[in-house]
Amino acid sequence: MEDIFGAWCAAFNAAVANQDPQSLSALFAPDSYWRDLLTLEQRLQNAHGPQAIGEMFAAHAGGVTSLRVTPVGDARKEAIPGIGEVIGTFIQYETDTTFGEGYLRLLPGSNLAFTLLTVLREIKGHPELSLVNRDTDFTRGDDAALRNWLEKRVDDQAYSDRDPEVLIIGAGHAGLAVGARLRHLGVDALIVDRSERVGDNWRNRYHSLTLHNEICCNHMPYLPFPDSWPLFLPKDKLAGFLEYYAEAMELNVWNRTTFLGGEYDSQSQRWTVRLQRPDTTIRTLHPSHLVMAIGVSGIPNMPDIPGQEQFGGEILHSSAFSSSSDVSGKTVVVVGAGTSAHDIAQDVYLRGGKPIMVQRSSVTVVSVQQSGLAYGAFRRFEGQLPIERTDLMVANPFDLVRRVHGPLSRAMMEGDAALLEKLEQVGFLLDNGEDDTGFFMKLVRSLSGYYLNVGASDLIVEGKIGLRPGVGVVRLTPTAVCLSDGEEIEADMLVMGTGYRPLQDAVETMFGADVASRVGPIWGVGADGEMQGMWGPTGQPGFFVTGGTFTMSRFYSRITALLIKQELLSRQEAQAREQLVLA
């Protein structure tokens, strides 16, 4: 099998060397994909079909004549839902300035490529810290030994005599992942967050919260979870790990720090940002790059409801609901039926409250057991392959992800048939996505409209969580929530699981309308088949957005970090040239 891949790679390399898009495109099947992340140019891109693949290569042929792909081995057969059987192997490649890696799939018999993934891994001359590239300083016998490691760490985090090269706004898993990637590349990054401690974005949430997807998907870069940890991580266990991660990775984090605003100077290519520290001191810093890592949900969407000023109970958005909310013995109306609404209703019930869910529109429901089909490669290869290799296998073009999740989602529905039938019997409104692609494409498109059942669906079936399907809230009285069908529910608390405004609105709030307009829409697959505004370059120089699932954040954090490193190196080279001219 390795000989087949070797022959294909040799033909590919010959086409590249000859700058021959036609010969290169002839190596791909009629229904095929090439996804390239930062090799041909400094962005994320993909092409579907031989003609588009040839055109993508032709646009950059003059700059990638040194691209050479080599199969690594470890070949395997795969069965792709909706596609059929393929054979795949990991690959490595090299250009004049970079090293890369990826994954290649061929169709048996024809030996034409079905998918090719190429991902930048290393800039030559600038490797990550690693087993063969450690800090080797030994300072016991000279003046440097007067200050030990801890004193140096304290000074490093203070930024009393320098600006960070990169400011990361948000110390959740996405911000920490990018911070770790940048530190391993020797880039000086500061992470700021309003919370008291790293991990509080999980620690302070409702009492019963656990992650809904399996631990095999959710490892952080460089430092995986212990093998003995549970399949579904409890929130406090995860919070503690993230706090430890920041310390172990030596990340510079300022907690209890509020971002007040920032402006970009195109001449100096630097930001001026203002931060309020815990003692109310205002610090002004001038990083060259900003990374917004506040979560891809954006600003809570809190609708105005007639009569809400008169309502005698508490009104909260789902993002503000926590274990400190007093619900015992109280009737809590939860508006919405997405993941947060289900989790909150379940938490209210478990803590002695009386939850009633108001379901305005249909939702995709999948049991956590069946949802594992969406993460099958991670489950199948856990303990067999490094997770970084599994990431390469699943980093497919989003169009292919959509196609695969049609048959996958239908298999999930078949496995959940008994649960779904019971939900329909009690009136719960169900769907399987706008094009029958299930919960995962809802995640990719909007991060809403689905629930992975960890018990709330069973409580709805059993009547322990009340359900009012197909209605909305029209007004409030001092004691009741009034629904569109005329029912009035006597309630002590109203929790609005009404989602979030587009993340572009958060950019406008933080940086102004001009920056938001340049950045454009964030999240959801764009016309180019890549995620809009995420991980890669935006329309605003020196500005990146990161976030998404743990899986996404682990994989794409390296993309963001390498792009920033490349830009910093380009600026350094330009400055060096200017100095030579002046000299």
Tokens describing residue 370: 């069946």
User: What's residue 143's pLDDT?
Assistant: 63
Q: CA dist 84 to 139, 181, 441, Å?
A: 59, 36, 21
β-strand partners of 333: 356, 494
- Predicted confidence at residue 130, as pLDDT, reads 87
Residue 219 and residue 201: Cα distance in Å, rounded? 17
How does 45-59 read in b/e, with b if 16+ C-beta sit within 10 Å? bbbbbbebbbebbee
> What's the token pair of residue 354?
């009386």
Q: What pLDDT is recorded for position 580?
A: 78
What span, in angstroms and rounded, lies between the C-alpha atoms of 209 and 346?
Answer: 10
* Conformation bin of residue 500: beta by default, left when phi > 0, alpha when psi is -120 to 50: beta
Closest CA to 126 of 561, 578, 574, 577: 561
**Strand segments (E) across 314-371:** 314-317, 331-335, 354-359, 364-367
Alpha-helix runs per DSSP H in 351-434: 368-371, 376-381, 387-394, 398-415, 417-425
- The whole-angstrom separation of Cα 215 and Cα 232 is 6
pTM of the model: 0.94
Per-residue pLDDT of the chain (583 residues; tens, 9 = 90+): 668 999 999 999 999 999 999 999 999 999 999 999 999 999 999 999 999 999 999 998 766 777 888 988 788 999 999 999 999 999 999 999 999 999 999 999 899 999 999 999 999 999 999 888 888 776 665 666 678 889 999 999 999 999 999 999 999 999 999 999 999 999 999 999 999 999 999 999 888 889 988 999 999 999 999 999 999 999 999 999 999 999 999 999 999 999 999 999 999 999 999 999 999 999 999 999 999 999 877 788 999 999 999 999 999 999 899 888 899 999 999 999 999 999 999 999 999 999 999 999 999 999 988 988 887 889 899 999 999 999 999 999 999 999 999 999 999 999 999 999 999 999 999 999 989 999 999 999 988 999 999 999 999 999 999 999 999 999 999 999 999 999 999 999 999 999 888 899 999 999 999 999 999 999 999 999 999 999 999 999 999 999 999 999 999 999 999 999 999 999 998 888 878 777 6
Euclidean distance between CA atoms 416 and 406, whole angstroms: 16
Closest CA to 169 of 191, 142, 189, 199: 191
Domains of the chain: 2-123 (3.10.450.50), 148-298+503-516+539-582 (3.50.50.60), 314-496 (3.50.50.60)
Per the listing, tokens 């629904």 go with: 483
Contacts 24+ apart (CB under 8 A), 56-60: 57/16, 57/21, 57/24, 57/25, 58/21
* CB contact set of 3 (below 8 Å; sequence gap of 6+): none
Radius of gyration of the chain (CA): 26
Q: Is residue 11 classed as helix, strand or coil in its secondary structure?
A: helix
pLDDT value for 140 = 61
Identify the CA nearest to 483 among candidates 385, 301, 350, 356: 356
Task: Return the sign of the alpha-carbon dihedral for residues 264, 269, 272, 277.
Answer: positive
| Predicted local confidence at residue 186, as pLDDT | 96
